[in-house]
Amino acid sequence: MNRKFNTLYPLAFILAVGPIDTGCGSSDEIVSPPERWVLTMSDEFDGAEDTRPNPEIWTYDVGGDGWGNGQLEYNTARIENVSLDGQGHLRIVAREESYMGNDYTSGRIKTQGLFDQKYGRFEARIQLPEGQGLWPAFWMLGANVDEVPWPGCGEIDVMEYQGQRPKRVFGSLHGPGYSGGESISGDFELDGDETFADDFHVFAVNWDPGRIVFSVDGEVYHSVNSSSVPGDWVFDHEFFVILNLAVGGTLGGPVGPDTVFPAEVLVDYVRVFERAQ
C-alpha cells in the first residue's frame, strides 16, 4: 500500500532543494539524482488541543510486553498519551502510572496500512525530552514486516535519542547480519551548551537505491551504501513511519531518580517526499 496524503499543500507542490550527494545504486552504478522533491505526505498536526492525530495517516501500537527491548511502558491509544497540543504540534507523553501491569504509559503511532513509500526524503521537526531512561525515536519498518519478520524486513532509524545524553542523537540501519547491537549507526552531537531538549530540530534521511544518508538540520553526519553492509541490503521496498517515546529498555536504560514525568516529545511536522522525475 502506498497511499499519498497531503494535509497542507496540493500534490503538485514542488520543493526545490540544494545540491545533493550522488548516490550509489543497488548494483553500484552511479545515480544522478534530480534537484527537486515532490511532497507525497505531510502532517502539520494542526487541530484543537486534546484531539487525536489524523486517523487517515496514523494508527497505534498498543501493548506493554517490552517490545523486544525490555521497555517499561504500556503504549496506549489514549488522549493522555498521544494528542495534538492545539499549537500545531503532536505530543507523545510518557507518564509514571500503574497501568495494565506496567509502571509507565506512553504512545507509539505508525502509518502502517495507511501510508508507506519506497525511497525519498523522510523528515520530522521534533523537540525531545531530557532525562535518564527516556528513549524517543523517529523510525521506519519495512511494510512487509508481517510476512518477513524483523530484521529481514529492514529498519531505518532516522533518529534515536537517550534522554541521559541530551546533546546527542544517532541514526541506524538494521538488517540481516547487522541488527540490534550490531546495527550500522552514526551519531550527531550539538556544539556548545545547547541540547535537543532546548528547541526543535529537523531529523531526516535521503533514501535512494543503494544509499541512505542521515542528517540533522540539513547537516549530513552518516551515510551507508549497499556495498558496505555485512549482510543483505533490505531497503528496496516500501517502509512505513513510526513515532514513539519508550521508557527504559536496552537503549533507554533504567529510569533515573531525577527524571521528570510527565515527559513529552513534541513533533512540529512529519513530511515525506519523492524525487521529481
Q: What span, in angstroms and rounded, lies between the C-alpha atoms of 5 and 12?
A: 12
All 3 cell numbers of residue 49? 488541543
Residue 155 among the catalytic residues: yes
Q: What span, in angstroms and rounded, lies between the C-alpha atoms of 204 and 216?
A: 6
Spot the catalytic one: 155, 194, 219, 264: 155
Q: What number of other Cβ atoms are within 10 A of residue 248's Cβ?
A: 21
247, 68 in Cβ contact below 8 A? Answer: no
User: Which residues lie below 8 Å from residue 238, measured CB to CB, with a gap of 6+?
Assistant: 1, 2, 116, 117, 118, 142, 143, 144
Q: What span, in angstroms and rounded, lies between the C-alpha atoms of 118 and 259?
A: 38
39, 5 in Cβ contact below 8 A? Answer: no
Spot the catalytic one: 35, 160, 189, 194: 160
**Identity of residue 187:** D
User: Which residues lie below 8 Å from residue 195, measured CB to CB, with a gap of 6+?
Assistant: 130, 166, 167
Q: What number of other Cβ atoms are within 10 A of residue 106's Cβ?
A: 31
Residue 130 among the catalytic residues: no
Instruction: Give catalytic residues, as residue numbers.
Output: 155, 160
